[in-house]
Amino acid sequence: MYLLIRSKKNKCPENRLNDIFENPLYDRLKKEVPNFRKKVIPIIANFNVEDLELSENDKNMLMREVSIVFHLAATVRFEEEIKTSTAINVIATNVILDIAKHMPNLKSFIHVSTLYANCHVKHIEERFYTYPIDHKDLITFTRTLPGSVIDEKLTRIASSWPNTYTFTKAIAETLLRDEGRDLPIGIFRPAIVMPSANEPIVGWGDNLYGPVGSTLSVVLGFTRFQLCDPDIPANLVPVDLTVNALIASAWDVSNQCRWDYTDDNVQTMWDRLNEEDKQLFHFNIRELDWSKYLTDYYKGMRLYLLHEDDSTLEISRINYKRLYWTHQMLKTVLIFATLWIVWNIFAKIFV
């Protein structure tokens, strides 16, 4: 397995990878496959640079050795500058695609997009869409025009997208459609990825993206109120089900090489797996016990984000009850204070 990874915070890719594998997420893998680390080879790459800073030797090795490509690298910052977002989400995708075109053994190229890349339409289907600008023009704009001019143009062109992340992800899909016609390419659009439901450990998560950050703020008492619409379903999916579906997608593409999808493709793919593969790559979200998952999700936040094990549960329950009753008392005081103020106002007016 070749992993494209950049240096970060004065750490080389090799050391970064070693740090990543120290995460409890990989404890099970270490027990079941003790020598797995030898199979993961880091390749220095910087997705913010047009050629990714890949050496010719590394490019040739990737072309020669790789048969399945998972392209997940992206900037997920919603308010990223359009030049940076285009460089990482569009131009870098084109570079990876060019390398894949020279892979004689390529069986599957899976590009990870997002469900919200096509948020400009009410009903999102499993197909390609057309946009007010194509990838070539966007790349030309960001390479040649000053930032102020680009922002002015995109205010009009990308007005249907809430941020540069979803917009550039959409444009990357058109790039793959137009430039990768002869390749076995699949577009994988996950929704809001959440901590793990079952494997390799229950409730694991190591970042505060999406609902995790807001949920943690609520359970810690920092956020007291949130504006929500109970009639709108949350598009949430645990990370382990997402990854299993991603791997199965590579298998499906390599066996079909299809471009036109229907709404039932994912379920059809699931039905085609044999029972052993269904156990190994389980991603059928219809079978997920959401009550159990949410309980594990909260426990996972305590363990992996707050670093509090189960020995502190009793203390946490006491603190929760203390905060709960403090909150109730505060609400009661506020209600009585409001009633007292209203009573005095009416008394002055009518008495």
pLDDT at 114: 94
**215 and 336 both lie in a single domain:** no
Question: What DSSP designation does 329 have?
Answer: H
pLDDT at 337: 93
pLDDT at 105: 93
Q: Residues 188-195: what's their mean pLDDT?
A: 93
Q: For residue 260, is pLDDT > 70?
A: no
Percent of the chain surpassing pLDDT 90: 53
For residues 167 and 72, what is the distance between their CA atoms, to the nearest angstrom?
A: 16
pLDDT at 295: 87
pLDDT at 216: 85
Residues with Cβ within 8 Å of 285's Cβ and at least 6 positions away in sequence, in order, are 237, 241
Q: Residues 95-105: what's their mean pLDDT?
A: 95
Segments in 227-289 forming alpha helices (H): 239-256, 265-272, 275-280
- The mean pLDDT value of the chain amounts to 89
Q: Name the domain count of the chain.
A: 2
SS3 64: helix
Residues with Cβ within 8 Å of 296's Cβ and at least 6 positions away in sequence, in order, are 195, 197, 202, 203
Banded pLDDT at 147 (limits 50, 70, 90)? confident
**140 and 278 both lie in a single domain:** yes
Range of the domain at 302: 2-311
Percent of the chain surpassing pLDDT 70: 97
**86 and 61 both lie in a single domain:** yes
Q: For residue 11, is pLDDT > 60?
A: yes
**300 and 334 both lie in a single domain:** no
pLDDT at 263: 38
Tell me the C-alpha to C-alpha distance, in Å, between residue 195 and each of 14, 213, 240. Answer: 26, 12, 8
**316 and 303 both lie in a single domain:** no
**47 and 123 both lie in a single domain:** yes
Banded pLDDT at 258 (limits 50, 70, 90)? very low
Beta bridge partners of 69: 109
For residue range 169-186, list pLDDT tens digits in order: 999 999 999 999 889 999
Q: Residues 293-312: what's their mean pLDDT?
A: 86
**214 and 268 both lie in a single domain:** yes
pLDDT at 351: 64
CATH value at residue 199: 3.40.50.720
pLDDT at 257: 46
For residue range 55-79, list pLDDT tens digits in order: 999 999 999 999 999 999 999 888 8
**203 and 77 both lie in a single domain:** yes
Contact 241, 282 (CB under 8 A): yes
**124 and 268 both lie in a single domain:** yes
pLDDT at 261: 38
**216 and 334 both lie in a single domain:** no
**320 and 301 both lie in a single domain:** no
Query: How far is residue 203 CA from its own chain's centroid?
Result: 16
**7 and 95 both lie in a single domain:** yes
